[in-house]
Amino acid sequence: MLLKSIKKVFFLSLFLGFGFLTSCDDDDTNAIEENIVDIASSDSNFSILVQALQRADLVSALQADGSLTVFAPTNNAFQALLDKKAAWNTLEDIPVETLKSVLLYHVLPIYAPSQNLSDNQVVSTLNGANLTIDLSSGVKIESATGQSVSVTQADLLAKNGVIHVINEVLLPGELPKDITDLAIATPDLSILVQALQRANLVGALQADGPYTVFAPTNAAFQALLDSNADWNSLDDIPVDVLTNVLLFHVINGNVTSDMLSDTYVNTLATGPNSEPLSLQIEVTGGIEFNGDANPVSGSINIAASNGTIHVIDKVMLPPNVVTLALNNAGFTSLVAALTDSRHTTDFVSILSGDGPFTIFAPTNAAFQALLDSNDSWNSLADIPIATLDAVLKYHVVNGANVQADQLTNGDVTTLGGTITIDLTSGAQIQTSSMQTVNILVGAATNDVQGTNGVIHAVDTVLLP
């Protein structure tokens, strides 16, 4: 009996202590002129909370008239939240929707001073999830994720409610795992994580996105290192090279495997004039990226809070215009023409240079039509090499990286003569031999951007 009496006195004293600043009489709150945000703003211990409210656009909600109860985490509590994730250095690194959801989990739509709280009381928050009051040992708040957070100061009265100070940020659920989190949690992507850290891209892949990331395995990165005798570790790869390689594995948007098609997509890596480099995707006969990278079975469509990860078996190197042509089954005749052993012009070496080049690339059907135009031409080998050389040069503009939206009416000088761009009836080319040739506009056929130039497919071989 004595023990029970002592316990009652203890809790009575505790609530009197917490309730010192409050009263059951509404006249006390009516006399207060500061709202919840005013009180938080005037206390340096809540500076991060105020910043969070501003970032989540919740300031006005906590300034409005009404009766609210706010469990207010201190700066130390917010710092502990940031420390939970390696890439969260400031509030700016937390996705806005995540931050807003967490903050609303700290607000009750009622006036609940400490004297109105009871042990095991379940209260609903503006987040929609519940909190449980625990008075078994001091005053604690239990979250939906099993946290037990202490109230360190109660009953800071405002004209629109009351504030209870707490020592930890309450979480309504597990923190969402973004692309970087999932990579860190996957042992076979540990070298990718190291590469992202070296290139200072960790934070970029924790942004809202959404992004789709093609994530090379550790074996893929080791193969990359083994391909260069001077590369023993990631530290041996120049940072600018590593950065562009990594960005070549990222595209904007949330792209799952069922959304893939035979096409090119823009990556976050850039080439001449800061144009986004093109990544080739093939699905006919099996999914393949950049000509020779394959998805790892069972490791595609990994959903993150800010996008999707597809694990792949090779590090994809940004292609130049030659590699783009080599990888495209629609340009096999063009490649054969460029690599004809009879040439005295080394087209591969020339087109592998710095450029930049703008190339009008005839399709296989275009080359077949050229062969069909001459009864004695059954294959490319039947075309005189001087003719073939002149024809190929007529398709290459040197010193310019011209995207489709940058084309204008007028003459353009190629390595083999002058062509005329005519946009009056679509994207067309007029040749010196009076041809009218269509530029094939589409994601899979034009503005195919490489590291040293851009390719536009055309439906006819240009004849000078």
CATH code, domain carrying 37? 2.30.180.10
Residue 437 burial (10 A CB sphere; 0-12, 13-18, 19+) = buried
pTM above 0.85, yes or no: no
Do both 333 and 289 map to the same domain? no
Do both 279 and 391 map to the same domain? no
Q: What pLDDT is attached to residue 176?
A: 80
* Last residue in a domain, options 166, 196, 219: 166
Six-digit token pair at 337?
């023409």
Q: What pLDDT is attached to residue 95?
A: 81
Asked if residue 73 has a cis previous peptide bond (ω within 30° of 0), the answer is: no
- Residue 224: give the domain boundaries: 179-312
Residue 411 burial (10 A CB sphere; 0-12, 13-18, 19+) = exposed
Do both 149 and 183 map to the same domain? no
Do both 329 and 444 map to the same domain? yes
Q: What pLDDT is attached to residue 395?
A: 98
Q: What pLDDT is attached to residue 28?
A: 53
Rounded to an integer, what distance in angstroms lies between the CA atom of residue 262 and that of residue 63? 53
Answer yes or no: are the C-beta atoms of 39 and 45 closer than 8 Å.
Answer: no
Do both 26 and 130 map to the same domain? yes
Do both 244 and 356 map to the same domain? no
Q: What pLDDT is attached to residue 174?
A: 85
* Last residue in a domain, options 281, 312, 343: 312
Q: What pLDDT is attached to residue 333?
A: 97
Do both 216 and 272 map to the same domain? yes
Q: What pLDDT is attached to residue 8?
A: 39
Residue 404 lies in a domain: yes
Nearest to 455 by CA among 441, 464, 159, 152: 441
Type of residue numbered 427: A
| Total Cβ atoms within 10 A of residue 344 | 7
Do both 148 and 204 map to the same domain? no
Answer yes or no: are the C-beta atoms of 423 and 430 closer than 8 Å.
Answer: no
User: What pLDDT tens digit does each residue of the chain (464 aa) get?
Assistant: 333 333 333 343 333 334 333 344 455 555 789 999 999 999 999 999 999 999 999 999 999 999 999 999 999 999 999 988 866 889 998 889 889 999 999 999 999 999 999 999 999 999 999 999 999 988 999 999 999 999 999 999 999 999 999 999 999 988 888 899 899 999 999 999 999 999 999 888 988 789 999 999 999 999 999 999 999 999 999 999 999 999 999 999 999 999 999 999 999 999 999 999 999 999 998 999 999 999 999 999 999 989 999 999 999 999 999 999 999 999 999 999 999 999 999 999 999 999 999 999 999 999 999 999 999 999 999 999 999 999 999 999 999 999 999 999 999 999 999 999 999 999 999 999 999 999 999 998 999 999 999 999 999 999 99
Q: What pLDDT is attached to residue 343?
A: 95
Residue 174 lies in a domain: no
Reported as type and span, the H/E element at residue 409 is: none
Six-digit token pair at 400?
């310019």
* Last residue in a domain, options 111, 145, 166: 166
Residue 171 lies in a domain: no
* Beta strands 68-73 and 161-166, pairing class: parallel
Answer yes or no: are the C-beta atoms of 315 and 219 closer than 8 Å.
Answer: no
Residue 173 lies in a domain: no
Residue 35 lies in a domain: yes
